[in-house]
């Protein structure tokens, strides 16, 4: 181990300052000596993935729980494999530090035709590609390394977006000065005048409203605004709904929570309560197609107050540099709490009264009954990860217990993302139970990371919904088309095939009785990975997905 303090060590220390304890990736000849620096640090663990795309997904899942993540790949072949995952992090505002080990600067300056290039002597093709999907980029040199590392990492943290660091193989070992100042500094705040103007405009609008409602989404979670949101909701007494991308940012058992809004596919009470509100306080929301049932929200834009992570916007008047939690704090301090009876609040807990559930042992398992059993299985503090498609739209309708974190990817929608993301989410917080819900088609794309889970001795609960193909695509187009078919696998055998020994349990369930027995055994076996193959009929799908399939089909015409 070298005693010289190096650029590579500086980068690793700054990542550690952000609380990163695990770094994901795949080794390659241009990053190997930097990996030596990583594994020399006792506070860091190198988590080696089966491929670079899975590493990017795992880092994304880690960041959604921990707040930020990092991954390392080699130049060219490795970083391009990861780019889809990084694009998803960019789309859904997840802070991930993408580090590429690249050829020596001298090699690049001389334009040598080395491996992992396009053979044209150019070395910036791939960094240009990353410019499109990251918020900041840099190539480190002896002269700029420490300043550039700090600049890029601050961008990642403050903008909640992925960044790209190109680390040439001859740079990371050069000497550097240890950091003297903390990486993170106080973000610039809005002026008192801006806050005063915002309050003078919005307080009368909100106080005048007869049917105000709060609509919250995923940016609340990204910018760590959950507590500020809770205080605002309780201070005002207003009802609150979320969109599915932000499901779980507010306690769904709370008496003011009225549901997950999805435009015209929302339950009648919820749709009417949102669409006819005369004041909608939108907090951390982006209205995208899959969470609004094809942009089918029915309210008027002029009734919406947009509280974004760093600004407030009302009728095109923007109040800049006001952090979300500060906006909510200031508004809550000026508004009087409304009486519940004046606000037409029907909590989800009353809208969806739980009927006694009786298992029909020999009855074939259906989507409807599966989701009812999952609802009863989810516990307080769980992490629920649902892949885009059958799993996401089924789980969207399941009420969550207090402090359940819900992870999905409805904007980017890269199927298979959630299995590696569960790996990352579990490593980010080993104290929480992780449930993965994934379809068979998505599972076939990224299943290799089960071997990483087994190697890391993790204990997620994995439900693979085996409905014989691409069900989302069947709902949109070509229900019997061969391109929506996939090869039937022996799914329950896969943990053993990937090296599992005594650290997993596997189940194949066709009936309600078999599934109920599996759930009971799972609850009694917390110290192993648990894998459940859930067999349902090919065209059996959640009711919401049936409706959305028709909407997306029309949208594609």
pTM over 0.85: yes
* Assigned token pair, 448: 């290799």
Q: What is the dihedral of CA 229, 230, 231, 237, to 10 degrees?
A: 100
Per the annotation, where are the binding residues? 440, 467, 469
Compute mean pLDDT per 10 residues along the chain, 557 residues long, and list them: 87 98 97 97 97 99 99 98 99 99 94 93 95 98 98 98 98 96 84 95 97 98 98 98 98 97 96 97 96 94 97 96 96 94 92 84 95 96 96 94 97 98 99 98 97 98 91 81 88 96 96 98 96 92 80 77
CATH code for the structural domain at 192-350: 3.40.50.1220
Report the catalytic residues: 29, 52, 115-116, 413, 440, 467, 469, 473
12 in Cβ contact with 41 (< 8 Å):
yes
Per the annotation, where are the binding residues for Mg(2+)? 440, 467, 469
318 in Cβ contact with 190 (< 8 Å):
no
Q: Quote the longest CA-to-CA distance of the chain.
A: 75
Which CATH fold would you assign to the domain 354-551?
Answer: Rossmann fold (3.40.50)
Provide CB contacts within 8 A for 374, sequence distance 6+.
394, 395, 398, 437, 463
Nearest to 308 by CA among 330, 327, 289: 327
| Rounded CA separation 355/368 (Å) | 14
Q: Do domains 192-350 and 354-551 have the same CATH topology?
A: yes
Looking at the DSSP assignment, which residues form a beta bridge with residue 491? none
172 in Cβ contact with 6 (< 8 Å):
yes
Can you give the residue ranges of every domain in the chain?
7-168, 192-350, 354-551
Which CATH architecture best describes the domain 7-168? 3-Layer(aba) Sandwich (3.40)
Beta-sheet pairing, 137-139 with 163-168: parallel
Could you report the per-residue pLDDT of 495-545, keeping only the tens digit for each? Answer: 999 999 989 999 999 999 999 999 999 999 999 999 999 999 888 888 888
What is residue 1's predicted lDDT score, i.e. its pLDDT? 53
């Amino acid at each position: 181990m070298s005693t010289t303090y190096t650029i590579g060590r500086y980068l690793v220390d700054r990542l550690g300052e952000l609380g990163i304890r695990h770094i994901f990736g795949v080794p390659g000849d241009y990053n190997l000596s930097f990996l030596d620096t990583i594994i020399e640090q006792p506070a860091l663990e190198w988590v080696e993935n089966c491929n670079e795309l899975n590493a990017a997904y795992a880092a994304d899942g880690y960041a959604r729980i921990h707040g930020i993540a990092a991954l390392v790949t080699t130049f060219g072949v490795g970083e391009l494999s990861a780019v889809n995952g990084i694009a998803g992090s960019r789309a859904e505002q997840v802070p991930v530090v993408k580090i590429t080990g690249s050829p020596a600067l001298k090699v690049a300056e001389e334009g040598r035709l080395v491996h992992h290039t396009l053979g044209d002597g150019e070395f910036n093709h791939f960094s240009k590609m990353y410019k499109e999907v990251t918020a900041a980029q840099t190539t480190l040199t002896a002269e700029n390394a420490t300043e550039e590392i700090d600049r890029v990492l601050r961008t990642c943290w403050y903008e909640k977006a992925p960044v790209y660091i190109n680390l040439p193989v001859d740079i990371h070992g050069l000497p550097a000065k240890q950091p003297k100042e903390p990486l993170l500094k106080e973000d610039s705040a809005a002026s008192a005048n801006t806050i005063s103007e915002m309050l003078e405009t919005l307080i009368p609008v909100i106080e005048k409203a007869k049917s105000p409602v709060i609509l919250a989404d995923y940016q609340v979670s990204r910018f760590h605004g959950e507590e500020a949101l809770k205080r605002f909701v309780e201070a005002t007494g207003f009802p609150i709904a979320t969109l599915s991308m932000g499901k779980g940012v507010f306690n769904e058992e709370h008496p003011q929570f009225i549901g997950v809004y999805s435009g015209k596919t929302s339950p009648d009470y919820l749709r009417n309560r949102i669409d006819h509100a005369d004041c909608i306080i939108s907090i951390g929301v982006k209205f995208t197609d899959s969470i609004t049932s094809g942009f089918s929200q029915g309210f008027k834009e002029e009734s919406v107050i947009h509280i974004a992570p760093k600004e407030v916007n009302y009728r095109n008047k923007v109040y800049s540099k006001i952090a979300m939690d500060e906006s909510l704090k200031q508004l809550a301090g000026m508004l009087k709490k409304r009486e519940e009876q004046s606000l037409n609040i029907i909590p989800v807990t009353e809208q969806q009264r739980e009927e006694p559930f009786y298992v029909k042992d020999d009855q074939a398992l259906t989507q409807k009954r599966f989701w009812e059993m999952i609802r009863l299985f989810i516990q307080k503090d769980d992490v629920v990860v649902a892949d885009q498609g059958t799993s996401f739209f089924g789980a969207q309708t399941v009420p969550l217990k207090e402090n359940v974190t819900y992870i999905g990817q409805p904007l980017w929608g890269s199927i298979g993302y959630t299995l590696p993301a569960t790996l990352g989410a579990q490593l980010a917080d080993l104290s929480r139970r992780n449930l993965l819900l994934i379809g068979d088609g998505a599972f076939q794309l990224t299943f290799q990371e089960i071997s990483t889970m087994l190697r890391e001795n993790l204990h997620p609960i994995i439900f693979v919904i085996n409905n014989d193909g691409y069900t989302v695509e069947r709902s949109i187009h070509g229900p019997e088309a061969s391109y929506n078919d996939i090869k039937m696998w022996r799914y329950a055998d896969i943990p053993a095939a990937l090296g599992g020994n005594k650290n997993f349990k596997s189940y194949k369930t066709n009936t309600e009785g078999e599934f109920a027995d599996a759930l009971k055994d799972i609850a009694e076996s917390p110290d192993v990975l648990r894998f459940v193959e859930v067999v349902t009929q090919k065209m059996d799908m959640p009711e919401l997905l049936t409706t959305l399939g028709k909407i997306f089909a029309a949208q594609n015409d």
